[in-house]
Amino acid sequence: MQLLEHPWGIAVTGRGSVEAEPDLARIRFRITRTEQTPAAAFDAARTAVRTVRAVLRDHGIDDAAVRASRLDLATVTDYVNGTSAVVGYRCQAAFAVRSGALDDVEPLLVDVVAAGANEIESVAFDIADGGALRDEARRRAVAAARAKAELYAGAVGARVGAVLHVEDADPDQPGVRHAVLAAAVPEGGPDLAPGRLLVEAAVLVGYALSRD
């Protein structure tokens, strides 16, 4: 439990949350090609990248919603007769894609793999305007803190006075903002059901106390 070093009245924590339907899918995948020469590895990877980009456009995903790394080349080694030997060259590109068409996620994955993606790293569901929901969760956290303070103050025969201290007790952390809630998948529905997302916030508020 978080405590203040020098309390001056009443200090309480409040938590707030907002549930929302996701409206954005974030997909990360890689294209990898291994060939005998660097030139062949680059050519094979470039061909696969062009094919995958065409598939993304066919699914209505424009270039602004796609981030792709530069082609990366590395040697592939193996042990032959107890010594390390170069057996080929691996060229790869990483993709990060955003799509608002949640019903199209499964067909998109199938087509991306068919077009040459070797590894699907992750599929995550998110909220495009998560900042507004986070703000609402914070407002609810402040209201919860106030209600708790009034309850405690009333129990000791006092009234809540001025706000003296406000501290964010749940600072933003990338990848932690949303917690996926369990959701039933309708019969015959898609396997990648995103469920609902929970946006949470917490605050520590200090109030002065006064007596009538």
Q: Give domain status of residue 54, yes or no.
A: yes
Enclosing domain of residue 74: 24-126
Asked if residue 55 and residue 92 are part of one domain, the reply reads yes
Asked if residue 122 and residue 56 are part of one domain, the reply reads yes
The total number of structural domains that make up the chain: 2
- Quote the CA–CA distance of 93 and 115 in Å, as a whole number: 14
Asked if residue 200 and residue 180 are part of one domain, the reply reads yes
Asked if residue 116 and residue 168 are part of one domain, the reply reads no
Dihedral sign computed on CA atoms, order 148, 153, 155, 156: positive
Q: Which two tokens stand for residue 5?
A: 């070093």
pLDDT given at position 67:
93
pLDDT given at position 172:
58
Amino acid at 60: G
**pLDDT string in tens for the chain (212-residue length):** 455 555 578 999 999 998 888 889 999 999 999 999 999 999 999 999 999 999 999 999 998 999 999 999 998 888 877 788 888 999 999 999 999 998 899 999 999 999 999 999 999 888 888 888 889 999 999 999 999 999 999 998 999 999 999 998 865 543 334 443 333 334 444 555 567 788 889 999 999 998 76
pLDDT given at position 169:
83
Asked if residue 96 and residue 77 are part of one domain, the reply reads yes
Q: Which two tokens stand for residue 72?
A: 């990366």
pLDDT given at position 176:
36
pLDDT given at position 107:
93
CATH at 120: 3.30.70.2970
Q: Give domain status of residue 81, yes or no.
A: yes
Asked if residue 122 and residue 28 are part of one domain, the reply reads yes
